[in-house]
Amino acid sequence: MTRTMSCARRRTPSSRATGLGRLMAAAAVAACAAALAQEPAGAPAAQAPVQVTVTATSLAAVPTYTLRAAVADALAHSPTVAAAGADRVTAGYLRETAEWGRYPTLSAEIAPGVFSSQSRSDSRLLRLDQPLWAGGRIDGAINQAQAQERSAQLGETEARRGIVEQTAVAYLAWSGAQERLRIAAEGRTVFERLLAYVKRREAAGAAARSDISVAQARLASTSVQREQLLAESERARSDLQTLVAGSVAGEPLMLEVPGVALPGADTAEAEYLSRSNVVAQRSAEVEAARAAAAVRRGESMPRLSLRLERQQNVSAGVSVPSDNRVMLALSFTPEAGLAAFSSVKAAQSRIEAAQDQVRVAELDVRQRARTHLTDQQSAERQIAELQPQIESLQFTADSYMRQFEAGRRSWIEVLNTFREVLDTRVALSRARTQHAQSALHLMGNTGALSSWIETTP
């Protein structure tokens, strides 16, 4: 693909729509400055526009680290996901343990009898108890274990969702930082060529020494900006490495994240609440607390069970005929003093605390929904303002360069305009990163993020 551009303002639809086109446009500006630097001293102000050819083959292919790979690595190595999975497995075993309370219990007793030098008498008892009624203790324990298992399952789902969202946001932060780093490098190249250009003019007596000093100062400021952006990129890369628990090899891909269309904050809140695993988890914890309260109330009630006993006495090695009995057994183990009453009160208090946690979770979800939606809308407005500014500033910079050659503009005005172009491009990149990250948050909390990641390269 080959495009021809001039120092005069020339745009193509694809150059505005794609990141590659933006890189080409920036390279064309740098090439314009280089072409001006090649002019002989005293060249006439009016001349034909310099034609510059920019080819896509100059962009060397580099290894890439995709978003899908990053998410897969994060899910595979995340200790948060592993711990949540272990909690779910544990909760499943505890539920099975509680369900076994419905089944018969087998017990055996051996009571030594009378010992003498000539004989020994033992009593052996085999007992089978089938619970019939336990005052709600068995059902309450099962309900509590089931609610705790649901809570653990929701916790694991939320852990996986959170890791996917965090990884996607960190990946976009890294790719956005890399884009700004490339913009800064291109800006430095432009100012290096502008410095070389003014040095040639100064050597020919067409520029003052102060013009060189100003150009050197602007070049130094772009170097400082590049170092700051490099540190930002390294921090973003380090954050991603922490999430994937391994090295990040290659460069990120520049992804176009679609905006999430939500009519307003109320709709966003409703969508967040309906899909919130945290709110559902807190609701399950309320059910578990209610079941635990039922268990505490049942502890003050007697137990009724169907009992089958088989007793056998052995004397001097000779078995006496066994005695088999079937009966209804009623057992009661009272708590000490007012402990049962206090235990029930404590269980009721835990229910109220769990309900408060549900309301806290709902408030947090509502706040996050409004924040993410506001951030996306703010980024959209910034992009809408910055995009035409770049085009206007670039046109102005080209015009100022021509007017400087004609003696109608000062050198400082030319440098300031080119710096404004660079700063505005960096600001636009930040706004796009903010918009992408806000959209990822919105998709992550409305159930659309995983399906979108599957469509990425």
Fold held by 2-102+134-300+335-455 = Outer membrane efflux proteins (OEP) (1.20.1600)
Within a 10 A sphere around the Cβ of 44, how many other Cβ atoms?
8
pLDDT at 263: 75
Q: Place 334 in a pLDDT band, splitting at 50, 70 and 90.
A: low
The first and second tokens of residue 116, run together, are 């003498």
Measured CA distances, 347 to 288, 335, 341, 342 (Å): 10, 16, 10, 9
Among the listed ranges 311-315, 356-360, 422-426, which one has the minimum average pLDDT value? Answer: 311-315
pLDDT at 41: 38
Distance CA 413, CA 189 (A): 19
In this prediction, what percent of the chain has a pLDDT beyond 70? Answer: 81
Pair type for strands 120-133 and 303-315: antiparallel
Q: What does the pLDDT average to over 82-111?
A: 92
What contacts 24+ positions apart, CB below 8 Å, involve 313-318?
313/113, 313/121, 313/122, 313/123, 313/124, 314/121, 314/122, 314/123, 314/124, 315/113, 315/119, 315/120, 315/121, 315/122, 316/118, 316/119, 316/120, 316/121, 317/120
Q: Place 457 in a pLDDT band, splitting at 50, 70 and 90.
A: confident
Q: What does the pLDDT average to over 332-339?
A: 64
Within a 10 A sphere around the Cβ of 131, how many other Cβ atoms?
16
The first and second tokens of residue 293, run together, are 């309260």
Query: What one-character DSSP code corresponds to residue 456?
Result: -
Among the listed ranges 187-196, 247-256, 319-328, which one has the minimum average pLDDT value? Answer: 319-328
Among the listed ranges 52-56, 215-219, 325-329, 368-372, which one has the minimum average pLDDT value? Answer: 52-56
Distance CA 303, CA 332 (A): 6
Torsion region of 116: left, alpha or beta (phi above 0 gives left; psi -120 to 50 gives alpha): beta
pLDDT at 421: 95
How do residues 273-289 score in pLDDT, each as one tens digit?
A: 999 999 999 999 999 99
Residue 54 has pLDDT above 50, yes or no: no
Q: What does the pLDDT average to over 302-317?
A: 81
The secondary element (H helix, E strand) that includes residue 319 is: strand 318-319
What one-letter code names the amino acid at 194?
Answer: L
Residue 6 has pLDDT above 70, yes or no: no
- Spatial neighbors of 105 by CB under 8 A, at least 6 apart, are 128, 129, 131
Where are the domains positioned within the chain?
2-102+134-300+335-455, 103-133+301-334
How do residues 214-233 score in pLDDT, each as one tens digit?
A: 999 999 999 999 999 999 99
Distance CA 279, CA 289 (A): 15
Residue 170 has pLDDT above 60, yes or no: yes
Residue 160 has pLDDT above 80, yes or no: yes
Question: Higher model confidence: residue 9 or residue 60?
Answer: 60
For the chain, give the longest Cα–Cα distance: 136
Among the listed ranges 36-45, 63-72, 238-247, 421-430, which one has the minimum average pLDDT value? Answer: 36-45
pLDDT at 229: 96
Measured CA distances, 104 to 63, 217, 295, 327, 403 (Å): 64, 88, 19, 14, 98
The first and second tokens of residue 237, run together, are 């890369």
pLDDT at 407: 87
Q: What does the pLDDT average to over 385-403?
A: 93
pLDDT at 111: 72
Q: Place 141 in a pLDDT band, splitting at 50, 70 and 90.
A: very high
Cβ-in-10-Å burial (0-12, 13-18, 19+) of 110 comes to exposed
Q: What does the pLDDT average to over 242-264?
A: 88
Within a 10 A sphere around the Cβ of 188, how many other Cβ atoms?
18
Q: What are phi and psi of 217, to 5 degrees?
A: -65, -40
pLDDT at 33: 43
CB 332, CB 402: distance < 8 Å: no
Beta bridge partners of 423: none
Residue found under tokens 């913009």: 183
Q: Place 117 in a pLDDT band, splitting at 50, 70 and 90.
A: low
pLDDT at 61: 57
Q: At what angle do helices 411-446 and 339-405 cross, to 10 degrees?
A: 150
Q: Place 452 in a pLDDT band, splitting at 50, 70 and 90.
A: very high
Within a 10 A sphere around the Cβ of 428, how many other Cβ atoms?
21
Among the listed ranges 14-18, 242-246, 429-433, which one has the minimum average pLDDT value? Answer: 14-18
Average pLDDT, the chain: 83
Q: What does the pLDDT average to over 406-422?
A: 93
Percent helix, strand, coil in the chain, to 5, is 65, 15, 20
pLDDT at 302: 86
The first and second tokens of residue 448, run together, are 């659309």
pLDDT at 343: 83
HEC states along 18-30?
CHHHHHHHHHHHH
Within a 10 A sphere around the Cβ of 123, how many other Cβ atoms?
15
Residue 72 has pLDDT above 50, yes or no: yes
Residue 62 has pLDDT above 70, yes or no: no
pLDDT at 317: 57
Q: Place 115 in a pLDDT band, splitting at 50, 70 and 90.
A: low
Distance CA 394, CA 391 (A): 5
Residue 375 has pLDDT above 80, yes or no: yes
pLDDT at 63: 85
What one-letter code names the amino acid at 265?
Answer: A
The first and second tokens of residue 233, run together, are 């990129």
